[in-house]
Chains A and B, each alone.
Chain A
């Protein structure tokens, strides 16, 4: 037992912890729980922890994955409870196991969006929004580290559906590409603002629901 994987949730107040800050938060959780973390060699040793997919600040997740290494065997089934006892609000560990696949195999994310239309009935947007995201081609402007560029959103998302329209909130669901390329859920309402502003919500909240491989099997 050397390389291990933890699945955890990041909800509530914890959604505002940035990716970088989370690394340190988790490291301290391990230290408080007395987990024998393995450190890198060298001048400035750091704990060997890696969070598989950075989560944008503000997004809720029920399916985060994190790889780490230990220096001695630990009891896996009891680990989540041990960690939860010393975790900040909103970080909750679900299970720990020895992974059979590399994190690079994670390809799709199932996401839910709760979109708010201030002072308007969400139901009037259901059909339009659904039609929009099921088009064969959605050319949006995407900002990446390398600059702005056109990006076909349709090629990197699938299964978009409106689940419910309650009051001013529209609940939507979709699969988006998790990496290569990374589609941030925020890109969906951005696409509306750019191409169909009349359908764009005033505020969008997202939740990562589940991780999938390229084969659309649940990724663990």
Chain B
């Protein structure tokens, strides 16, 4: 194999991503370890290595001395072709060993467009893609990650799925599996036992039953499977594992920097946002801990950039302390500190000015909707005066580019809301004319729209996506409403959003579509280089299914949803309340103003409070 690889590598693009050997890579002695796991990321090295979840789990699992967890990424098209042509199976970066040497393959499922890549990687490893076609206990093929919150579309392919945060649950699963392997259990015996671990969803223990109209009647529990699987969380971030020695890539990746996680969860409750609901409850890391971790990681990596990550950095209570503590360390060493996900307010602007002393390029805001009414519908708590005021401070401070992100197709959206986006952009431009100290430099205002995709476990999980023709009509309407030449308009394709919507709320039959698409050649579908809408339509047709049934059909509130056996912490009654308030354009206070008793706090250890 080594020889074949040596011949292939000079012929492919960016070969460094296929060999490992980076600084801080974890290498253990094959003979000494008791269990070998392949951490499979169903996208390229550049994407996977930028993923903080992967860094955390890679480190946390390897912190067990007798388990060796190695990395596997999806090869780019040229490499995948060479590997198939030369019968080179998928291998792990650390040891170079083919995946048939591994006890367990764990996939990270972060987004729907990676689904086909999972199948492709299994196939490249020489494994049947379906769990049912792998009767042996070894290897265990499992998954974790945000997309598992609707486990059904990928149910046929995984032996089990871990819901929520994997730091502790993954290791419990691996230890049970190790016991089962050593004691010679059957796969069925192991899975029935694994289903008793909190957060573990074993798809083969739930049987979907359909109504004549194609909707789900029930997910029948088999063999004593739990009625509801509740996601796992880590209660205390200060004592939780954190990867202070992350692998330092030797080649360029998407985000090559030290990632510092401020907190998990979000206090805002925007109704369209899946992340805002599924990552609850809110748990913060202390400022002192973050500064300590940051310094340690910068020293251990030699990175020249650190970034503070969370869903909404402005809501971190000790943001100033963290920035001060880190800047004290970073500034003398020319290390830059970046802070995404800031809200459009004065405080954020002051902070940005401190972080970006020299370079003042573009700022990004996401008002999401063009009118106050629609922003109230989605509970996006930002007002026009606030936004314009922030823009004013930015322009006065020397920034000359603003990017504004919106969604089209939000529930209750009218043409007035669409045109409202153009009006808002025009107002921002007007503010620039009034406030910029240096008009010769010009200004760049960019408006971007994507098509709203309703997601499981959000208050809009029952909503219909607007159909593609309607989305395109709204894009045209907006395009013609934007007249100023300093305002650029970019819009996302309708195609990808439509497929994403069909997959994200799919039932188990959609697994057949995913397999059919893969058999027709789909992989790395998040890349426009590879995405093919036509192929997806053919795959749906192969299975006798209509993507519109999943994407653009409104669900009844009493309908059994494919993710009904999954509890991500927030009660359905709260989601419903939020949905109904949306129709009244009625705001809900954020968690800081008033706890809505969403239910997520019940996941915390005794004595720990939700930091909402």
Interface residues of A (CB under 8 A from B): 12-14, 16-18, 21, 25, 27-32, 39, 43, 45, 57-58, 86-90, 203, 205
Inter-chain CA distance A88–B27, complex, in Å, is: 12
Inter-chain CA distance A11–B106, complex, in Å, is: 31
Contacts A12-B21, A16-B15, A88-B21; A21 near B252 (Cβ below 8 A): yes
Contacts A31-B302, A43-B358; A88 near B19 (Cβ below 8 A): no
Interface residues of B (CB under 8 A from A): 6-7, 9-10, 14-16, 18-23, 25, 248, 250-252, 299-304, 334, 358
Contacts A28-B303, A43-B358; A88 near B250 (Cβ below 8 A): yes
Inter-chain CA distance A43–B19, complex, in Å, is: 35
Could you jot down 29 A-B contacts, CB within 8 Å? A13-B19, A13-B20, A16-B9, A16-B15, A16-B16, A16-B18, A17-B16, A17-B250, A18-B16, A21-B16, A21-B250, A21-B251, A21-B252, A25-B250, A28-B301, A28-B303, A29-B302, A31-B302, A32-B301, A39-B334, A45-B334, A58-B15, A86-B23, A88-B25, A89-B20, A89-B21, A89-B25, A90-B21, A205-B6
With a cutoff of 8 Å between Cβ atoms, the chain A residues found around residue B10 in the complex are 57-58
With a cutoff of 8 Å between Cβ atoms, the chain A residues found around residue B21 in the complex are 12-14, 88-90
Closest B residue, CB atoms, query A43: B358
With a cutoff of 8 Å between Cβ atoms, the chain A residues found around residue B304 in the complex are 31
A18 B251 Cβ-Cβ under 8 A: yes
Apart from A31-B304, A32-B299, what are 11 other A-B pairs with CB-CB below 8 Å? A13-B19, A13-B20, A13-B21, A14-B250, A16-B15, A16-B18, A18-B251, A57-B16, A88-B22, A88-B23, A89-B20
B334 A27 Cβ-Cβ under 8 A: no
Inter-chain CA distance A72–B334, complex, in Å, is: 17
B252 A32 Cβ-Cβ under 8 A: no
Q: Which one of A16, A27, A32, A45 has the greatest number of beta carbons of chain B within 10 Å?
A: A16
With a cutoff of 8 Å between Cβ atoms, the chain B residues found around residue A87 in the complex are 23
With a cutoff of 8 Å between Cβ atoms, the chain A residues found around residue B16 in the complex are 16-18, 21, 57
Closest A residue, CB atoms, query B20: A13
Contacts A25-B250, A58-B9, A58-B10; A16 near B19 (Cβ below 8 A): yes
Inter-chain CA distance A64–B396, complex, in Å, is: 50
A41 to chain B, nearest CB (A): 12
With a cutoff of 8 Å between Cβ atoms, the chain A residues found around residue B25 in the complex are 88-89
Inter-chain CA distance A30–B22, complex, in Å, is: 15
Contacts A57-B15, A88-B22; A32 near B302 (Cβ below 8 A): yes
A15 to chain B, nearest CB (A): 9
With a cutoff of 8 Å between Cβ atoms, the chain B residues found around residue A27 in the complex are 302
Inter-chain CA distance A205–B20, complex, in Å, is: 20
Closest B residue, CB atoms, query A31: B302
Contacts A21-B251, A29-B302; A203 near B7 (Cβ below 8 A): yes
